[in-house]
Amino acid sequence: MAERIYNVLFLCTGNSARSILAESLINSWGRGRFRGFSAGSYPKGQVHPIAVELLKRMNLSAEGLRSKSWSEFSTPEAPPLDFVFTVCDRAAGETCPVWPGQPMSAHWGVDDPAAVEGTDSDKWLAFRQAFRELENRIKIFVSLPIHSLDKIRLQEQLNAIGRTRADEPA
């Protein structure tokens, strides 16, 4: 029997940095067991250039990544979602669409690297920090025995992952 592929949507307001990084990370670390997507409540319309460059430097795919509205995932034609994670506090506080299939959800807030002002070095440090935090959480998530956890225990695990910081071991 083929192993099930889980569809995971990462939400943010602008869908230009954090959710984009998470989409690429889960597609890499999920090793075919997870299919990542990202969207925003108010998409910027373009992916932040540092996010694209960082993914390339980390040997992760930036192919096909685009800033898009979360409304694309609330239609009957959208892929059925198993998990929805908000990665910014603003999106977590917004009223989300009703997702077909009632996917499990959790808030995995990460500081917005695209909002950092200062030198290029300051901006790159912020993007690297967001990347590390997301990567750590995604590594933990993809290692969960999802098929053997009941919904209550799985929700507890998803919430706990959202409290994990970048400097904690995956």
- Bridge partners (DSSP) of residue 8 are 36, 83
Q: Which residues of 95-129 are buried (b: 16+ CB within 10 A; e: fewer)?
A: ebbebeeebbbbbbbbebbbebeeeeeebbebbbb
Q: Rounded to whole angstroms, how far apart are CA atoms 42 and 22?
A: 18
The residues assigned a catalytic role are: 12, 88, 96
Helix extents (H) in the chain: 18-29, 49-57, 89-93, 120-142, 151-161
